[in-house]
Amino acid sequence: MRGRETQAADIQDASHGVALARVADFPLKYRRLRAILKTFNVKEDVTKRGKGSERMFVGVVDGKVIRLPTKCHNEGDEKPRAVIRSIRRHFKLTEADGVSDEEFYGRA
């Protein structure tokens, strides 16, 4: 498995050595994702769940309570990049919102 620094590295154009894009989000295990979100005051609501195996993340964004269900069959399940991006967008934890990738992934 590649390390975090390698996964988040700039993609280089082989012919010119120019950075084309930055691959920031990468898969995380559910338990690590929950620990990171907890540092941003986004908690898992243990009193309510979504349908079936969904767990509910709850946080306050711009004065509004945001609830976001996410699938979790097992604490060790890996959440894909698309899910991580979606969670970061919903809770305004993206670089556009002032939270760098290094700050987000370095929290837990």
Tens-digit pLDDT profile for residues 32-85: 999 999 999 999 988 876 677 888 999 999 999 999 999 888 889 999 999 999
pLDDT in the model for residue 1: 43
In the DSSP assignment, the letter for residue 96 is: G
In the DSSP assignment, the letter for residue 95 is: G
Residue 49's Cβ-side half-sphere holds a number of Cα atoms within 13 Å equal to: 9
Would the pLDDT of 106 be above 80? Answer: yes
pLDDT in the model for residue 37: 95
pLDDT in the model for residue 2: 47
Helices within 1-108 (DSSP H only): 4-7, 30-39, 81-90, 101-105
Between 101 and 52, residue with greater pLDDT: 101
Domain-wise residue ranges, the chain = 25-105
Q: Are 39 and 57 in contact (CB under 8 A)?
A: no
